[in-house]
Amino acid sequence: MKRRFFLFAILLLFVLGLTAHAASMAYDANPSLSFSGTTAYCTVVCRGDKTTDSISATLTLYQGNTEIASWSNSGTFRVPVSGNCNVTSGLTYRLKLSWSVNGVSQPDVEVSNTCP
C-alpha cells in the first residue's frame, strides 16, 4: 500500500511539473493599428518564451477582404514588425498578425479600426 501511494505521489508531481512548465510559456503579440490623417500605422512586437525562440511574423492590412499592404520580419526572442501606408478616411481597416514560434503556428491575432 505504501508503495502504491509513493508511486502515485511521484506520478502526480511529474504531471504537475509538466503542467507548470506548459503554463510558463508566455508567447506574446498584440498588434496595433492607428491613424494619423490618412496614414495607417501598423505595429507589433512578437515575444517568445526563451531568448533562443525563433519567431517569424507577418502583419497584413485589409480593407474589407482586400489586402492593402503586408510586412514581415523574423528573428529570435523579440521580433518587431511595422509598416505604414496611405488609406482612405472613413473606412474601416483590419490588421491581421500571422506568426510562428519555433516553426509552430500561433493563433492569428486581428484588430480593426476606422480611419477618422
What is the largest distance, in Å, between two alpha-carbon atoms of the chain? Answer: 74
Q: Is residue 55 part of a domain?
A: yes
pLDDT for residue 11: 47
Averaged in consecutive runs of 10 residues, what is the pLDDT profile of the chain (116 residues)?
53 45 72 98 97 97 98 98 98 98 97 98
CATH code, domain carrying 91 = 2.60.40.10
Q: Is residue 102 part of a domain?
A: yes
pLDDT for residue 46: 98
Q: Enter the pTM of the model.
A: 0.78
Residues of the domain holding 38? 26-114
Count of the separate structural domains present in the chain: 1
Instruction: Give the C-alpha distances (Å, rounded to integers) separating 61 from 31, 87, 104.
Output: 11, 10, 23
Q: Is residue 42 part of a domain?
A: yes
Q: Is residue 46 part of a domain?
A: yes
Q: Is residue 11 part of a domain?
A: no
Q: Is residue 14 part of a domain?
A: no
pLDDT for residue 14: 52
pLDDT for residue 18: 43
Q: Is residue 107 part of a domain?
A: yes
- Dihedral sign for Cα atoms in the order 6, 8, 13, 18: positive
pLDDT for residue 26: 81
Q: Is residue 67 part of a domain?
A: yes
